[in-house]
Amino acid sequence: MTRVRTSGLAAASVGLLLALTACGGGNEAEAGGSEEIRLWLAGSDTPQELRDYLVETFEAEHEGMSLVIEEQDWSGLVPRLQTALSSESQTPDVVEIGNTQSPTFTHAGAFSDISDLVDELGGDDLLEGFVEAGTVDGDVYAVPYYSGARAVFYRKDLFQQAGVEVPTTLAEFGDAAVALQQANPGGAANFSGFWLPGQDWYNGIAWLYSNGGSLAEQDGDAWVGALSSPESQEGLQQVQELFANATSAPRDADSAEPWVPFNNGEAAMFSAPTWARWSIDLPECNQGVDPDDESEAAQAALAEQQACNEERTGIFPLPGPTAGEPATVFAGGSNIAIPAMSGNQEAARDLLRIIFSEEYQTMLAENGLIPGNSEYADALGDDVYAQAALAAALDAQLTPPAEKWADVEAARILEDFFQEVASGADLAEASARADQLITDTLA
């Protein structure tokens, strides 16, 4: 980095990073001009079959136009959009964005107003919290694409050996986790009743929300941190107990890949979006199939392996404070919007119409994603995974729809805070400090 040494600026390297990432996708389409529509999808959650459907349908309806789908990585999406969306030549025409990230861009004026289109796309059936995250002063700029709520996976055999039943209330859940941890039926060296790493606030806030607490509250025009409210404190108290007595997960880990310790026999439960079922790979079920092997025998062995894993694993939505009601968990998922800089507004709106058509929404549901239009959620099916996903999503809640919420996430304030909670910090003091940071960041 001698090039920048006289300035010695990390800012320069930031710029460099932005420039590099901005080149990741996008430039190749410029030649196509207005005949080409570009859709940015985030991550690999949208299956190939759905992408093909979009391209075919769009191109059949628009003679002479083509749809190009470019996949963007979730990590670093915000800085990439920062540069791409403000440039007429770089911007995609339709863009998927994380639900908690969308307020930052809607407030900045990065998206086109699509209020007049909302009724056509599903109106009141659209997922409510997501629409709120895409709304500024009553105008809608971003609509829900899909949602995926978290549910708890557990090892049936360990539950049985420890004499623990599937919990029906949040308090029972805590007791079950502690009991499992103490029983350690598998005899693993470093056993967790419930896998809860120190920085995993995505799962931790379920206790906050379920007790009626929140991360930040609107006070007039300003947002203030709300971790110190009595309701939040009660939830945090329960989380701290879990950290102390129900988990051996490292304090310096986050919510990434919770199935690793689960597969290793080091955890009896973990909480994750329901598609985590495909990542469960218990040693006693593993058939040692080469992942590149596409023969029929290998496929059969894999199917058998998956069936074996699913037989030994159970799933339930995190229970709420009263029996029969699920907890209020964090709603993961994404929104979709039309960048204001796009030169193809009409075609982009047509693409949104296709995405919110019955066919496409049903396809989303069939692939295990809760579709943006809840009317079509029935297509999720009725196996235990779909049921758990639906029950969890019923009452799921987003992060506060504050303009600068993405800054709070970027500054990793909640990661730091939950790590402190996990380290046994004084709750009132740590919460007051974190509240101050949240208030300052959102101001």
Partner 1 sequence: MSAPRTSSAPVLPPAPPRAAAPPVHPDPPGERRPAPRRRSLRSRLGPYLLLLPALVPVAVGLGYPLVRQFVLSFQEYGLAQQFGRPAEWVGLRNYTTLLSDPYVWGVIGRSVLFCLVNAALTMAVGIAVAVLMTRVGRGARITLQVGLLLAWGTPVLATMTVWQWLFDSQYGVVNWLLAEPLGLTGMRQHSWIIEPASFYLVATVIVVWMSVPFVVFTVYAGLLQVPEECMEAAQLDGANAWQRLRHLSLPMVKPVLLVVALLQVIWDLRVFTQIYVLQRAGAPTRETHLLGTYIYSLAKEFSMAGAMATIMLVITFVLTVFYIRRMLKEEV
The binder of partner 1 chosen from 219, 359, 412, 426 (CB under 8 A): 412
95 makes contact with partner 1 (CB under 8 A): no
Amino acid at 28: E
Say if CB 396 and CB 331 are below 8 A apart: yes
8 makes contact with partner 1 (CB under 8 A): yes
Cα distances from 188 to residues 158, 163, 265, 311, 361, in angstroms, run 12, 17, 7, 21, 44
The binder of partner 1 chosen from 44, 89, 115, 190 (CB under 8 A): 190
Supply the minimum distance, in Å, between the C-beta of residue 246 and partner 1: 16
Of the candidate spans 58-66, 213-221, 248-256, 287-295, the one that interacts with partner 1 by CB under 8 A turns out to be 248-256
The binder of partner 1 chosen from 45, 93, 96, 420 (CB under 8 A): 420
Supply the minimum distance, in Å, between the C-beta of residue 353 and partner 1: 26
Residues in 170-189 at the binding interface with partner 1, rule: CB under 8 A: 189
Cα distances from 421 to residues 232, 298, 418, 427, 441, in angstroms, run 13, 46, 5, 7, 21
CA distance 423 to 13: 34
- The torsion defined by the Cα of 345, 346, 348 and 354, in degrees rounded to 10, comes to 160
Tokens found for residue 245: 């007595």
136 makes contact with partner 1 (CB under 8 A): no
Q: How many amino acids of this chain bind partner 1 (CB under 8 A)?
A: 51
19 makes contact with partner 1 (CB under 8 A): no
Tokens found for residue 387: 């049921």
Angle at which helices 230-245 and 413-422 pack, to 10 degrees? Answer: 60
The binder of partner 1 chosen from 164, 331, 406, 442 (CB under 8 A): 406
12 makes contact with partner 1 (CB under 8 A): yes
CA distance 248 to 189: 10
Strand duo 313-316 + 66-72: pairing:
unpaired
**Which residue's CB is nearer to partner 1, number 84 or number 386?**
84
Phi and psi dihedrals of 189, rounded to 5? -65, -30
Alpha carbon of residue 6 to chain centroid: 41
**Nearest Cα to 112, choosing from 432, 431, 337?**
337
Residues in 365-384 at the binding interface with partner 1, rule: CB under 8 A: none
6 makes contact with partner 1 (CB under 8 A): yes
Residues in 314-343 at the binding interface with partner 1, rule: CB under 8 A: 340
**Which residue's CB is nearer to partner 1, number 47 or number 79?**
79
Of the candidate spans 133-141, 285-293, 319-327, 418-426, the one that interacts with partner 1 by CB under 8 A turns out to be 418-426
312 makes contact with partner 1 (CB under 8 A): no
3 makes contact with partner 1 (CB under 8 A): yes
**H or E element that contains 271:** strand 269-273
14 makes contact with partner 1 (CB under 8 A): yes
CA distance 250 to 5: 38
Cα distances from 233 to residues 209, 229, 369, 384, in angstroms, run 11, 6, 33, 33
Cα distances from 303 to residues 279, 289, 367, 387, 407, in angstroms, run 13, 11, 17, 22, 43
254 makes contact with partner 1 (CB under 8 A): yes
**Which residue's CB is nearer to partner 1, number 113 or number 125?**
113
Binding mask 197-236 for partner 1 (x = CB under 8 A): xxx-------------------------------------
Task: Quote the DSSP letter at residue 201.
Answer: H
Residues in 51-90 at the binding interface with partner 1, rule: CB under 8 A: 79, 82, 85-86
Supply the minimum distance, in Å, between the C-beta of residue 253 and partner 1: 6
Binding site for partner 1 (CB under 8 A): 1-15, 79, 82, 85-86, 104-105, 107-110, 189-190, 197-199, 248-254, 261, 340, 406-407, 410-413, 415-416, 419-420, 423, 437
